Structure 1
Amino acid sequence: MKKWLMLLLTVLFAFTLAACTATDSSGDGDSDETETENEDNSGETNEDTSGDDVTTLNLNNGQNPTSLDPPKGFDSASWNVLNNLMEGLTRLGKEHTPEAATAEDWKVSEDGTVYTFMIRDNAKWSNGDDVTAGDFVYAWKRLLDPETASPAAFLGYFIKGGEAFNKGEGSKEDVMVEAVSEKELKVTLEAPTGFFTHVISNPAFFPINESVATENPEWFAEADSFVGNGPFNLAEYNKDKDMLLKKNENYWDAETVTLEQVHFAMVDDTNTEYQLFESGDLDVSEIPSEMSEELIDSDAVSITEQAGTYFYRFNVTEEPFQNEKIRKAFALAVDQQEIVEYVTKNKEQPAYGFVSYGFQDPSGNDFREQNGNMLETDPEKAKQLLEEGMKEEGYDELPEVTLTYNTSESHKAIAEALQQKFKTVLDVEIGLENTEWNVFLQDQKDLKHQLSRSSFLADYGDPINFLESFTSDSVMNRTGWSNDEYDQLIADAKAESSDEKRWELMYEAEKILFEEMPIFPVHFYNHVFLNKDNVSDIIRHPVGYLELKWASKE
């Protein structure tokens, strides 16, 4: 059904079996390319300063990257750029599975807890320096350093000593990442983790040139100082306007890269983006929702799977959403099917749980199908729960509610649909507020919103990645919700060596999440783009990374 994840989990299972006997894993592969938070302004093509004709792919990044510092740029706007400027030990291939990248080979211990990576002799930084094991040690410990305050730090908790260091309960020296030699990296995990090579393909695990970063801690902020190790270099960076990437001749696999330049515009309006596509200033565009019926079946459209969920967060520390019944009333009033049919119109699947389709358990059952619908539209039940919740709180009138979303026409359309639904079903008037992305995100982290839109794109191919976002201490929680039983289930699932038991724990955790309803889902994501007919092999991985290594433009 979801072929990419079936293949992925087959491969991951093979890795798990291989851990029983010390194994070598390698592969120079071809490859293809969302909560993470996933958001979508001139579209003019940059000219090469030499005056020669160059092959330039013109894309829209939607907005300025949050950061090009790998542990801090933890969102799709940053990943789109970072994944093409840099590279980890592994890289997702065209079939969305981990392949050898900066590491040409690796070995796994018999108990599955120790990985030894061999870094390519010809792995170079864009300034000509060798990429070393020490660069990975430096980067990964910085990811986990509490002073870095990385939203992606939790991904490093698979590494022995990583969580303790990040939480101030251990030292940097206790993090079990070691440079055995200049080109050999040894990593010890807390428990066998069959999908670890998938986890470390995430941009949060990209290396950092230690000597460059030591000399200039803001090395990532400007094009002139940026040093990467990926298929492209950062040539120009005009914040909030555009950026230009040029082919990195020092990249170990430079001969595979056919594009000479990639120009990213930053247009946060889909209608404007489409106009730039029509005028030839962009090679790729999303489809404006009002044009979906006209364009969705066009030969120029590509639709691919994406592991992620569009959802809303309740702030359970603010009235009236401290009350579970009131939260459920709002959630049950939502008609997900109506939204995907009449508002987004991009052939998304309505979401009635948080974990998306495409993850198979050891018995071959899809997680979403096996755990069933966690909620369903029920106007009458919604009205009843609202009445009961207000009575519990002593409300004669519901406190004022504001729904907040970050600036985007598509987010606005969904917000307006919800506003109308809450009025129709619950007879509740809510206000709408939109803010610029960085302000929105910080306010959400600071629990300044009552009800706010969100998106989650999987960081690696396992359901635990969805569910770990809502543990009490997760920086991805952003609801104020806390449940000890839920926290324990997630901790147990991460430590569980039996795959069957691990999945049972995850099924139970998702049920608790929806029993208390700190969130409600709207739809599962997919990738829907219009592409010029002379453009090919732009890969969008289900976990949200844009891949241009194999892209071409004739």
Structure 2
Amino acid sequence: MKKLSTVLLSASLAVSMLVAGCSSGQPAANNESAPPAANNQPNTTAPGDQAAKLLLLNNIKEPTSLDPPIGFDEPSYNILNNLMEGLTRLDENQKIQPAAASEWKVSEDGKTYTFTLRDSKWSNGDPVTAHDFEYAWKRMLDPALASPASFLAYIIEGAEAYNSGKGKVEDVKVKALDDKTLEVVLAQPASWTLLLASNPAFFPVNKATGEKDPKWAAEAATFVGNGPFKLTEWTHDSELKMMKNENYWDAANVTLAGAVWKMIDDENTEYQMFTNEELHRTTTVPADMADQLFKEGKVYVKDGAGTEFYRFNVTKEPFDNANIRKAFSMAIDRQTLVDLVLMRQQKPGTAFVSFGLPDANGSGDFRQVGGELVKFDAAEAKKLLEQGMKEKGYTQLPEVTLTYRSGTANEKTAQAAQEMWKQTLGVDVKLQKVEGKVLTDMQKQLQYQIARSSWLPDFGDAINFLDIFQSKSGSNRTGWKNAEYDKLIEGAYKEPDDAKRMQMLHDAEKVLVNDAPIAPLYFYNTSLLSSDKVSGIVSSSLSYTDLRKAVVK
């Protein structure tokens, strides 16, 4: 691959990109301890000054919404995870911990969860009650609200019917038995229920506030939360400030005085602010500095849950043929892609489900157990293409176009794939660059041949990766339908035995990869710079940033 190597080595480094999956946005920043940052200057703020204790972060852009079921993306949820709190939280090891609920019980059939709430207060002093949770969860399912997160609650009995307009709110089995007891009845057992309870979409909403002011979450003056921090200032599209919430149930153990979140969407500006100590960490590594910073060991890298991949439109030629799809996937040298194009130490996408998700009964890693299902094999790719063309009666392959979202990393990846397909398959693929919203619309309408895509899980279970390719799923966007696959996913949703459920998911992933409506590219990670003045920022590959234990020197 001499020609390709020359192309890749001469290419500029790709920036870390914003990914758009179900929870669109950038992969979450991860648990410290990061190496010290480069070129830090002494802090000139007086030691006793309160400003010296504020953590300075970049959120990249304005939160979509701080109303939990509406702001269904990372820019919103990173903020919300510190202003509010659900029944449970994930720790840095992705293990469930009690949060607003002090304990819970699960019925023998695995369908009824009874949560006991601890004594806690909202930031306005009101008590947090089970009625607030019932109100919030049913509100998320209200068809009139049109929450993009509502499908997550479909495991609750009556939830899907109500959300789809076929049932009544009274039939949604979420009920406050009293101020401190919440009962949730599932349609079928779901071992990931406690993981879902930690997702910001399931955060409570102060019932009195929500009923009085539908726009309560739009400004700092009206925002009411139950988390470790309270929203004190919000200059839209510029910055947001939060300070320690004295009403939080565990305020005594919150070490951080507060944080300021900037909204800087330019990596060079962000890096300059970092070197000037106007930010304590970056969200990216600047392209023109990446090689030097990685070599100097100043970049903190950690695996994250999420996958970059290409979708094939199986309703359009030539990708209505499985062997042609498999040939295009097998012709991608993923190791070269991550080593010479992205250069951010990502892992090559050897399957669809990423690392960082537990296997049966929480033991092991799903990806490690499942092994490598996708590989680069130039000779086999050529054979598959020849076989597929023969099956289709082609003497020449129809024109092929790869459509990708604008952005440096996406463009470099597309150019590399284009060159790989040319060298291995002898196919000239055209490239089409569009804006993100345009690409999403094209996928929904199946108006593409190959399209750049990504997926970030909403909760830490492999089913949240694989269920999107069910025939009925609105997130499928490939036109692919497979009865065996649908049966395996439906069975996994109903199977109470976790070992059997996970085997169904492994089997489903094999069906997906073998039929190849997608071509995995690489698994996400986080690469960032962090000041040596900061420690204790916690986030697993699946959770959002948690600042409770952060310390600023």
Q: What's the offset of the Cα at 1:385?
A: 4.0
Deviation track 1:302-347 (CA, whole Å, cap 9, x = no partner) reads 3333222222223334554444334323222211111111122222
Deviation track 1:138-193 (CA, whole Å, cap 9, x = no partner) reads 22122233443333323212222223333444322221110101221111123333
Deviation track 1:348-387 (CA, whole Å, cap 9, x = no partner) reads 2111111123433369664334433322112344344445
The percentage of counterpart residues that share the same residue type is: 45
Q: Distance in 2 between matches of 1:213 and 1:463?
A: 34
- Give the aligned partner of residue 543 of structure 1: 542
The one-letter code sitting in structure 1 at the alignment partner of 2:479 is G
Aligned residues: 510
- Give the aligned partner of residue 189 of structure 1: 186
Q: Equivalences for 1:19-30 in 2 at 5 Å?
A: none
Deviation track 1:62-81 (CA, whole Å, cap 9, x = no partner) reads 33333323223233222211
Name the SS of the counterpart of 1:63 in structure 2.
coil
On the 8 A contact 1:38/1:456 being kept in 2, the answer is no
On the 8 A contact 2:402/2:414 being kept in 1, the answer is no
- Flag the 1:341–1:281 CA change in 2: closer, same or farther, 3 A: same
Gaps of 5+ in 1: 1-33
- Flag the 1:134–1:291 CA change in 2: closer, same or farther, 3 A: same
Name the SS of the counterpart of 1:296 in structure 2.
helix
- Give the aligned partner of residue 452 of structure 1: 451
- Give the aligned partner of residue 155 of structure 1: 152
Name the SS of the counterpart of 2:323 in structure 1.
helix
Q: Distance in 2 between matches of 1:176 and 1:326?
A: 47
Q: What's the offset of the Cα at 1:201?
A: 0.4
- Give the aligned partner of residue 517 of structure 2: 518
1:342 counterpart = 2:329: no
Gaps of 5+ in 2: 1-20, 28-42
Name the SS of the counterpart of 2:152 in structure 1.
helix
- Give the aligned partner of residue 476 of structure 2: 477
Deviation track 1:383-427 (CA, whole Å, cap 9, x = no partner) reads 44445555627685523514221x443333323322332333343
- Flag the 1:367–1:90 CA change in 2: closer, same or farther, 3 A: closer
- Flag the 1:538–1:112 CA change in 2: closer, same or farther, 3 A: same
On the 8 A contact 1:404/1:449 being kept in 2, the answer is no
Name the SS of the counterpart of 2:542 in structure 1.
coil
Name the SS of the counterpart of 1:342 in structure 2.
helix
Q: 2:242 aligns with which of 206, 229, 245?
A: 245
The one-letter code sitting in structure 2 at the alignment partner of 1:529 is L
- Give the aligned partner of residue 503 of structure 1: 502
Q: 1:278 aligns with which of 255, 275, 280?
A: 275
The one-letter code sitting in structure 2 at the alignment partner of 1:104 is S
Name the SS of the counterpart of 1:245 in structure 2.
strand
Q: 1:143 aligns with which of 128, 137, 140?
A: 140
- Give the aligned partner of residue 62 of structure 2: 64
- Give the aligned partner of residue 324 of structure 1: 322
Q: Distance in 2 between matches of 1:236 and 1:412?
A: 37
Name the SS of the counterpart of 1:330 in structure 2.
helix
1:37 counterpart = 2:24: yes
- Flag the 1:343–1:160 CA change in 2: closer, same or farther, 3 A: same
Deviation track 1:468-519 (CA, whole Å, cap 9, x = no partner) reads 1222233432333332321221111111122232122111111121122222
Q: Distance in 1 between matches of 2:88 and 2:384?
A: 49
- Give the aligned partner of residue 417 of structure 2: 418
Q: What's the offset of the Cα at 1:206?
A: 0.8
Name the SS of the counterpart of 2:360 in structure 1.
coil
- Flag the 1:232–1:414 CA change in 2: closer, same or farther, 3 A: farther
TM-score of the pair, normalised by structure 2: 0.83
1:376 counterpart = 2:363: no
The RMSD of aligned alpha carbons is 2.9
Q: Distance in 2 between matches of 1:283 and 1:362?
A: 38
Q: What's the offset of the Cα at 1:546?
A: 1.4
- Flag the 1:282–1:232 CA change in 2: closer, same or farther, 3 A: same
- Give the aligned partner of residue 110 of structure 1: 108
Bigger RCO of structures 1 and 2 (CA < 8 A, at least 6 apart): 2
Q: Distance in 2 between matches of 1:221 and 1:256?
A: 29
On the 8 A contact 2:56/2:281 being kept in 1, the answer is yes
Q: Distance in 2 between matches of 1:544 and 1:312?
A: 25
Q: What's the offset of the Cα at 1:523?
A: 1.3
On the 8 A contact 1:479/1:518 being kept in 2, the answer is yes
Q: Distance in 2 between matches of 1:165 and 1:396?
A: 51
1:231 counterpart = 2:218: no
TM-score of the pair, normalised by structure 1: 0.83
Name the SS of the counterpart of 2:529 in structure 1.
strand
On the 8 A contact 1:289/1:345 being kept in 2, the answer is no
- Give the aligned partner of residue 213 of structure 1: 210
On the 8 A contact 2:318/2:397 being kept in 1, the answer is no
- Give the aligned partner of residue 468 of structure 1: 467
- Flag the 1:336–1:87 CA change in 2: closer, same or farther, 3 A: same
1:93 counterpart = 2:69: no
Q: What's the offset of the Cα at 1:534?
A: 0.5
Q: What's the offset of the Cα at 1:537?
A: 0.9
Q: Which runs of 4+ in 1 moved over 6 A?
A: none
- Flag the 1:442–1:52 CA change in 2: closer, same or farther, 3 A: farther
Name the SS of the counterpart of 2:232 in structure 1.
strand
On the 8 A contact 1:332/1:378 being kept in 2, the answer is yes
- Flag the 1:397–1:499 CA change in 2: closer, same or farther, 3 A: closer
Q: What's the offset of the Cα at 1:205?
A: 0.7
1:165 counterpart = 2:162: yes
Deviation track 1:224-262 (CA, whole Å, cap 9, x = no partner) reads 333222122333444444333333232222233333332
- Give the aligned partner of residue 401 of structure 2: 401
